[in-house]
């Protein structure tokens, strides 16, 4: 069931992003007086198509990993003299630049709309309160203490753990971090400098909070099962939702975190678990299944989740804006995520971020499914971020991408004439090889994560 949900979620996400991207090219091409021959979502043999009164064919193809807008162009085939003025190649260089830029800009606009909807609807987050600090960690040595809220990192405000993680990911490779905190119930803030040597470099995947020695505060969770998956070890052992975990191998279980840590530390080992059910106690034998993490560690999993409890109101934070104020917030958020994406690309090129962090269609499908199961807010946030990534990547100056065509046209605008066909063809071959290699690398790392 999870695989089917992942597939459906990624089809929805990629379908929307690709359609918006290609519609950007299509809309501007029409406004520039260019005849559009085909608007296709996907590659390969069309599964469905129809033609409008302008002679444009709209198609849905079998391979949903991209799309294209085919325009009338003398470089791609004979053009009737009566329609030559409608051909892409006969338009001014500035109109061609507008058409090329329209696709990525449409992706940025989609992200702004998605963030705007989230800000207007309002989002609920947990106050980023420190729960624990390891003594010999960067946070411990700098003097950070539990029950203090992290209000800023390097001068940038942090209203949630999501924002903290984004700030920390953006600091990859840094040697110092400035973290501003406010003690619980206090009004004064305190800024502390943390020494971090090449922060998060060579970590795959990055573990920013663990590297700093910080754990998030959370209310104590009783060790009570809220759900038991049909295919999990807990179900096979006879556990039911509502069971309270009393002890494991004769040692009392303090709370849910204690239960999880002991399960994770016992892959493949049979545990004697005392539970309370319906006012009576009984003992069950539980053997956690072995699960390999991306960092090579093996942990135990039993396929059970904790019973939901309500967070104290004082540790919840709702962020919402009016329709007009949300516009500025959405544009700012899109700009922030764009800068983060560009900075991540730069750091990958200089070796601060491992290439194994590249994600392909398998990882995108898994994350799309996870966010869809988490709710509309998480799903929209993921779609917005992926739309920004698509826009940024397409603007990279690599031939075959929109950014490569943009580079050719900018050179033409400066020179007053286009680059020779030989140079453009050579660039396209290099671009195809580079993009193809990146796609293969991403798929390879996707498969490695599955193993």
Long-range contacts of 133-141 (CB under 8 A, 24+ apart): 133/213, 133/214, 133/215, 134/213, 134/214, 136/213, 137/212, 137/213, 137/214, 138/177, 138/194, 138/195, 138/196, 138/211, 138/212, 138/213, 139/179, 139/194, 139/212, 139/213, 139/214, 140/213, 141/194, 141/195
The H or E element containing residue 126 is: strand 123-126
CA–CA separation, 107 and 394 (whole Å): 10
What does the pLDDT look like over 374-410, one tens digit per residue? 788 888 999 999 999 999 999 999 988 999 999 999 9
- Asked if residues 38 and 60 have their Cβ atoms less than 8 Å apart, the reply is no
| pLDDT for position 180 | 95
Is 421 among the residues known to form the active site?
Answer: no
449 versus 282: which is more confidently predicted? 282
pTM value > 0.85? no
Could you tell me the CA-to-CA distances from 237 to 100, 228, 277, 302 in Å, in that order?
A: 59, 11, 14, 9
pLDDT at position 348 is 85
Is it the case that residue 447 has pLDDT exceeding 80? no
The 176-183 sheet, strands edge to edge: 156-157, 148-153, 176-183, 190-195
Q: Work out the pLDDT band at 46, boundaries 50, 70, 90.
A: confident
Of residues 207 and 354, which shows the higher confidence score? 207
Question: In the prediction, which pLDDT does 224 show?
Answer: 94
Residue 369 pLDDT greater than 70, yes or no: yes
Mention every residue, 6+ apart, whose C-beta is less than 8 A from residue 220: 255
Catalytic residue among 22, 163, 281, 294: 22
DSSP letter string over 410-439? Answer: HHHHHHSSPPPHHHHHHHHHHHHHHHHHHH
pLDDT at 401: 92
pLDDT of residue 129: 93
Q: CA-to-CA distance for 99 and 405, rounded, in angstroms?
A: 10
Cα 143 to chain centroid, rounded: 32
pLDDT value of residue 450: 63
Residue predicted with more confidence, 205 or 134: 134
The pLDDT score that the predictor gives to residue 204 is 72
Confidence of residue 223 (pLDDT cuts 50, 70, 90): very high
Long-range contacts of 341-346 (CB under 8 A, 24+ apart): 341/388, 341/389, 341/392, 342/392, 343/170, 344/169, 344/172, 345/392, 345/396
Mean pLDDT score of the chain:
90
Report CA 157 to chain centroid distance, whole Å.
21
* Length of the chain in terms of residues written: 451
231: confidence class by pLDDT, cuts 50, 70, 90: confident
Q: pLDDT for 7-18, tens place per residue?
A: 888 888 888 999
Q: For 443-451, what is the mean pLDDT?
A: 73
Mapping DSSP to helix (H, G, I), strand (E, B) and coil, where does residue 277 land?
A: strand
Contact 144, 179 (CB under 8 A): yes
pLDDT one-digit tens code per residue, 107-140: 999 999 999 999 999 988 889 999 999 989 999 9
Percent of the chain with pLDDT over 90: 60
Most confident of 85-94, 162-171, 299-308: 85-94
* Distance (Å, whole) CA 312 – CA 141: 30
């Amino acid at each position: 069931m999870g695989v089917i949900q992942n597939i459906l979620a990624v089809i929805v996400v990629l379908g929307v992003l690709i359609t918006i991207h290609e519609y950007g090219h299509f809309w501007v091409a029409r406004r520039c007086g260019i005849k559009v021959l085909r608007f296709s979502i996907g590659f390969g043999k069309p599964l469905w198509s129809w033609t409008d009164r302008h002679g444009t064919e709209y198609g849905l193809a079998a391979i949903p990993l991209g799309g294209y807008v085919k325009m009338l162009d003398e470089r791609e085939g004979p053009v009737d003299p009566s329609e030559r003025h409608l051909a892409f190649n006969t338009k001014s260089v500035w109109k061609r630049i507008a058409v090329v830029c329209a696709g990525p800009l449409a992706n940025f606009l989609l992200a702004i709309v998605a963030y705007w909807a989230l800000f207007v609807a309002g989002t609920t987050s947990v106050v980023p309160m420190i729960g624990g600090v390891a003594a010999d960690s960067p946070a411990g040595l700098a003097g950070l203490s539990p029950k203090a809220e992290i209000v800023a990192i390097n001068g940038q405000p942090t209203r949630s753990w999501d924002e903290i993680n984004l700030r920390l990911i953006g600091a990859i490779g840094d040697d110092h971090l400035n973290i501003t905190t406010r003690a619980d119930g206090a009004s004064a803030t305190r800024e502390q400098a943390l020494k971090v040597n090449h922060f998060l470099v060579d970590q795959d995947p990055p573990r920013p909070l663990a590297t700093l020695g910080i754990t998030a505060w959370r209310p104590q969770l009783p060790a009570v099962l809220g759900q038991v998956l049909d295919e999990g070890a807990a179900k096979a052992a006879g556990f039911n939702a509502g069971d309270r975990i009393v002890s494991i191998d004769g040692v009392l279980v303090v709370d849910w975190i204690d239960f999880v840590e002991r399960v994770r530390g016992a892959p493949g080992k049979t545990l004697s678990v005392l539970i309370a059910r319906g006012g009576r106690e009984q003992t069950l034998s539980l053997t956690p299944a072995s699960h390999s993490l991306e960092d090579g560690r093996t942990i135990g999993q039993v396929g059970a989740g904790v019973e939901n409890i309500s967070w104290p109101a004082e540790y919840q934070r709702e962020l919402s804006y009016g329709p007009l104020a949300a516009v500025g917030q959405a544009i700012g958020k899109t700009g922030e995520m764009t800068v983060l994406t560009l900075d991540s690309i730069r750091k990958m090129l200089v070796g601060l971020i491992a290439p194994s962090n590249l994600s392909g269609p398998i990882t995108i499908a898994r994350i799309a499914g996870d966010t869809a199961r988490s709710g509309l807010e998480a799903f929209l946030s993921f779609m917005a971020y992926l739309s920004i990534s698509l826009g940024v990547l397409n603007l990279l100056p690599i031939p075959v991408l929109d950014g490569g065509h943009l580079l050719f046209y900018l050179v033409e605008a400066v020179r007053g004439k286009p680059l020779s066909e030989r140079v453009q063809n050579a660039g396209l071959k290099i671009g195809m090889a580079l993009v193809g290699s990146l796609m293969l690398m991403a798929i390879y790392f996707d498969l490695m994560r599955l193993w």
